[in-house]
């Protein structure tokens, strides 16, 4: 999603100019769903722009961040993100299953990338490895779904293997 640049996201037209960025529009929409009175204005516009940049315009990250608006201001959310993404991954068993699955997928992906960089530090080797992994995972997912598998179980089947064991 498009995000505002660091070079003055609110200039010259104020917060209205932020609406041209998909990430900011998503933030505003999701924030209004959590807090109906929430609007992007001159006071919070620069912070919302910075927050969307910090989250790289990732829709799920924006959705998780706006969920925190019940108890934190956009500025507080941004400040807490400086200590990592723990703020967005909290919730434990109470968080929706899709969030736990995403967190597991990201953790697994990170571990795989660290492993490949440890053994193959050359960029072309990393690109080749990633391409192979994507092809294999896509093929496994297509096979699983073509056999009538539940789309919500694709992650566990592809990553952990049938029955949840790698």
pLDDT of residue 33: 93
Least confident of 12-16, 81-85, 93-97: 12-16
pTM of the model: 0.51
pLDDT of residue 12: 44
Note whether 4 and 18 are within 8 A (CB): yes
DSSP assignments along the chain, one per residue? -----SS-TTTTTGGGGGGGSHHHHHHHHHHHHH-TT----TTTHHHHHHHHHHTTT-HHHHHHHHHGGGTS-HHHHHHHHTT-THHHH--GGGS-HHHHHHHHHHHHHHHHHHHHHHH--SHHHHHHHHHHHHHHHHHHHHHHHHTT--GGGHHHHHHH-GGG--
pLDDT of residue 162: 53
Instruction: Put residue 149 in one of left, alpha, beta given phi > 0 → left and psi -120 to 50 → alpha.
Output: beta
What's the pLDDT tens digit per position in 110-154? Answer: 777 777 777 766 777 777 777 787 788 788 888 877 888 777 777
The mean of the pLDDT values for the chain is 76
pLDDT at residue 9 greater than cutoff 50: no
Residues 65-87: b if buried by 16+ CB within 10 A, e if exposed: bbbbbeeeebeebbebbeeebeb
């Amino acid at each position: 999603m498009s995000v505002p640049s660091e070079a003055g996201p609110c200039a010259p037209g104020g917060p209205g100019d932020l609406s041209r960025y998909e990430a900011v529009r998503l933030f505003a929409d999701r924030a209004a769903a959590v807090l109906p009175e929430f609007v992007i204005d001159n006071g919070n516009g620069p912070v919302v722009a910075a927050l969307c940049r910090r989250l790289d315009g990732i829709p799920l990250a924006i959705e998780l961040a706006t969920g925190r608006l019940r108890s934190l201001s956009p500025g507080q959310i941004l400040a807490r993100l400086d200590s990592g993404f723990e703020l967005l991954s909290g919730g434990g068993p109470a968080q929706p299953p899709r969030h736990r699955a995403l967190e597991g997928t990201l953790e697994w992906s990170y571990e795989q990338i660290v492993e490949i960089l440890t053994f193959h530090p050359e960029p072309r080797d990393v690109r080749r490895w990633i391409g192979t992994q994507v092809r294999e995972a896509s093929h496994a997912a297509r096979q699983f779904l073509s056999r009538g598998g539940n789309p919500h179980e694709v992650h566990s089947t592809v990553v952990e293997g049938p029955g949840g064991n790698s």
